[in-house]
Structure 1
């Protein structure tokens, strides 16, 4: 595994930046090892929901987990508001960094992740393939 630190600036769209970043890499598979920082807007899709819920305010990133592939990401986030109340869900585009987002990303050169429609779930799900020897 190749480990890469990444820091996002205020106003960056957390999900979109991560998807654009992995799309530029030679490696075709990645995962979030750790993430901390803050958001001013969080767009979360809760379990079973079809649409994202918008949460605004001073929000702390408590954790971020998921997989990254050139054709998409699957990311879950837990955030706390200014009173310490915690909420989490599927991270959607439109989640904006407030002061910083500091991440450590693992790149997996021996693997290729992609997203393909799974007829059993009706969603684009993770497909895992070994990379051919280089």
Structure 2
């Protein structure tokens, strides 16, 4: 396992930035371990909802976690607004960094994450595949 420590800048889209980081990592599998920061607005799909809701205004990221794969990321987020109200669900495109986002990613080079349709859920679900170990130099 390798780690990436990311600092996103104002105006960055959270999901697009994480997908890009996975692409640059040279791996096809990673987990977001932790994330904090602020957003100027968020698109969050609440449990059971067919489409994301839009939340405007200054938001604090309280939690961010999920899996990253070339076939799509699965991210959960909770945010609080200026009155301390908390909302959470699936982080959709459109979560825009306000001042900063600090994110810890665990990259798993010995794994390949794919998303395949699960007939039980009707969604593209995680299909983890353990890759053969790469021999180390001098072994």
TM-score interval (norm. to shorter): over 0.9
Q: 1:74 and 1:37 mapped to 2: Cα distance?
A: 19
Aligned to 2:43: 43
Structure 1 length as normaliser, TM-score? Answer: 0.96
Q: 1:48 and 1:107 mapped to 2: Cα distance?
A: 29
Q: 1:23 and 1:117 mapped to 2: Cα distance?
A: 22
Q: Which runs of 4+ in 1 moved over 3 A?
A: none
Identify unmatched segments of 5+ residues in structure 1.
none
**Could you tell me whether the CA contact under 8 Å between 1:65 and 1:77 is conserved in 2?**
yes
Residues paired across the two proteins, number: 134
Q: 1:98 and 1:75 mapped to 2: Cα distance?
A: 19
Identify unmatched segments of 5+ residues in structure 2.
135-139
Give the deviation of 1:96 after TM superposition. 0.4
Deviations 1:58-103 (A, max 9, x none): 1000000100112210000000000111110100001100000110
Task: Classify the secondary structure of the residue corresponding to 2:50.
Answer: coil
Question: Bigger CA drift: 18-27 or 108-117?
Answer: 18-27
Choose 1 or 2 for highest CA Rg: 2
Structure 2 length as normaliser, TM-score? Answer: 0.93
Higher strand share: 1
